Amino acid sequence: MDSINPATGEVIETYDDHTADDVDSILDESAAVTSDWAETPITDRQQLLERAADVLRDNEDEYAELITHEMGKPISESRAEVEKCAWVCEYYAERAGEFLADRVIGSEPNARTFVSYEPLGAVLAVMPWNFPFWQVFRFAAPHLTAGNVGLLKHASNVPGCALAIEDVFREAGYPEGVFSTLLVDSEKMEDVIRDDRLDALTLTGSEGAGRTVAEQAGNELKKHVLELGGSDPFVVCEDADLDAAAETGVAARTINSGQSCIAAKRFIVVDAVYEDFLDQFVQEMEALEVGDPTDSDTEVGPQAREDLVEDLHEQVEASVDAGADLACGGGPMDREGWYYPPTVLAEPPMDSPAATEEVFGPVAAVFRAEDEADAIEMANDTHYGLGASIWTADLERGEGLAREIDAGCVFVNELVKSDPRVPFGGVKASGYGRELGKEGIHEFVNRKTVWVQSPGDEDDAVPTE
């Protein structure tokens, strides 16, 4: 696997893939430690997770530079990503015991009935390159602490990050085999998914990858969670604070240089404020600093791979050809590296790529809606359903509109974000299952019902099937 710097196109380092024998040994090691790790007191597992947070913070600069060099994220965002990983570790170090405590249920006077949360075993995480540390830690922090062991198949363009994350857990004191990295191509994942030593899996990635993994996991009857793509609407009502909406909208579209599943991608603005919002939004997009991602002043860095720039430009060209107005940007930048400028497409047709596809890069599509009702209809006119953002001065209206949006999460007067404290995930083609929060840690546990009847009470029992 080649690690290539997107800002220069140069190979940073080449890593040897794991062979079939290597994979077999890693699965054996995971299987061997599964029972002991599940029986480790949760307080011990929480303490180890707290140490992982310390390791992340102690090495923040090193990890941030690695992220930036491997996938091109601006260095300020890379540092923020490492800090967020430490936060999710601290969150579950504090709350996992509470979330996994037996839940007592009333049944009969002479019986104790409760739900016990017990680990499933070995869980595979197939993770993407765009948030190479955060995506992994939001999986690992809850599910290792729940008593599962973790296996990571990371994106092939961030092998250095994958191995660094494995080292974080090793340095924190986790037993060998509790968290392991598989440096293999995606084509070899089917054999791993079929392996009896694997009990469950989760994937964050494209809709196509999700469908493939869901079919394979379903055929093996293995529990799985999917967090897939999105085409998030950003709805601006006529009473919105346009300054705040435009400023936050630009951040929501261009975070991670536009390469985020939950980035705002379709800006749907009611007619009464459309022109004013568009003017402010374009000005904000054009003012962004595009440049070397290692420079702390850079706000938009390169795209992670050359093919991603090509795909992005094809979508822009097709949308313009279909009738969209190119308000700014619109073509690969003439410089070293894989750069695409902040771009705004005004009023693209509803059958253009900007309206129907996930556009993964710093390209915003701004649509005109007749009124609020039309805006909500347009927001829901997508087969995706990951997140949405609504902007209005009327908080009661905002909450009401949030309930009308078909998405896994809706934010009012705020950009869509993942937060350790609240569940995260999508509906429709954006996947199923939840990460983070209390709901997230329960995805990969056996929610076992236990009924303990007092001796001698058999005659009082109610007959059941």
Show which residues are catalytic: 227, 261
Q: How many residues does the chain have?
A: 465
| DSSP states along 127-171 | --SSSTTHHHHHHHHHHHHTT-EEEEE--TT-HHHHHHHHHHHHH
Backbone angles phi, psi at 464, to 5 degrees: -135, 175
Q: How far apart are the C-alpha atoms of 294 and 75, rounded to whole Å?
A: 5
The β-bridge partners of 450 are: 114
CB-based contact 360:254 (threshold 8 Å):
no
* Gap between the Cα atoms of 256 and 224, Å rounded: 27
* Rounded Cα distance, 239 and 332, in Å: 36
Instruction: Round to whole Å and give the CA distance between 199 and 193.
Output: 9
Residue whose C-alpha is closest to residue 260's, from 292, 231, 302: 231
Tokens of 384: 């995706």
Q: Is 91 left (phi over 0), alpha (psi -120 to 50) or beta?
A: alpha
